[in-house]
Amino acid sequence: MTSSIRTIRRARLASAAVSLALLTGGLAACSSGDDSTKTFCDTYKSVAEDTSLDDLDSSDLGGTVDKISDVNDKVKDVDAPDEISSDWDTMKKFLADFSKAFDGVDTSDQAAVQTAAAGLTDLASEASSMQTSATKVSDWAKDNCK
């Protein structure tokens, strides 16, 4: 297998991991708690209810990058309650790193995708940690964002 195919597969693996984590996050009806908890819950609900995330397609790298970048923009400045702050930070870092890797990249240009995806090796290895964090955040939101 050529390195270009492996690189593109890494990019698709990372986008699939993000898709899975976001889609399995579940929905939460959020509106209670102090202002920071309410802000977190409102943001979480907004992302969880974003139906554009339902059709993430890892074979459409450009569309996936755009949608993940939109999610990153929604969550990057939102802090989570202390109980889940490290998990939320793991998710935010993953989204930010993915978005940064493809910022300004023409996803129809295979050479540009290869260059961007080359930096995703660490990101792909963090997919399991991202999924674990997404599950913890989702569980907390279901219990606390009412």
* Sign (positive or negative) of CA dihedral 32, 38, 44, 48: positive
Question: Are the beta carbons of 43 and 75 closer than 8 angstroms?
Answer: yes
Please tell me the total count of domains within the chain.
1
Answer yes or no: is 55 within a domain.
no
Instruction: Say what the pLDDT of residue 6 is.
Output: 54
Distance CA 77, CA 93 (A): 11
pLDDT digits (tens, 9 = 90+) for 42-74: 988 888 887 776 777 777 888 888 888 888 888
CA–CA dist 78, 72 (Å, integer): 10
What is the model's pLDDT at position 2?
A: 54
In a domain, 146, yes or no: no
DSSP alpha helix (H) spans, the chain: 3-23, 35-48, 61-75, 85-102, 110-118, 121-125, 127-144
**Could you tell me the CA-to-CA distances from 48 to 6, 32, 52, 135 in Å, in that order?**
31, 17, 10, 13
Residue 30 lies in a domain: no
Cβ-proximal residues to 4 (8 Å cutoff; 6+ apart), any chain: 110, 114
| Assigned domain for 105 exists | yes
DSSP assignment of 118-136: HTTHHHHHTHHHHHHHHHH
Instruction: Answer yes or no: is 28 within a domain.
Output: no
Structural domain span for residue 135: 3-23+35-50+60-140
Is 29 among the domain residues? no
pLDDT in tens, 84-138: 999 999 988 888 888 888 889 898 888 888 888 877 777 777 778 888 888 999 8
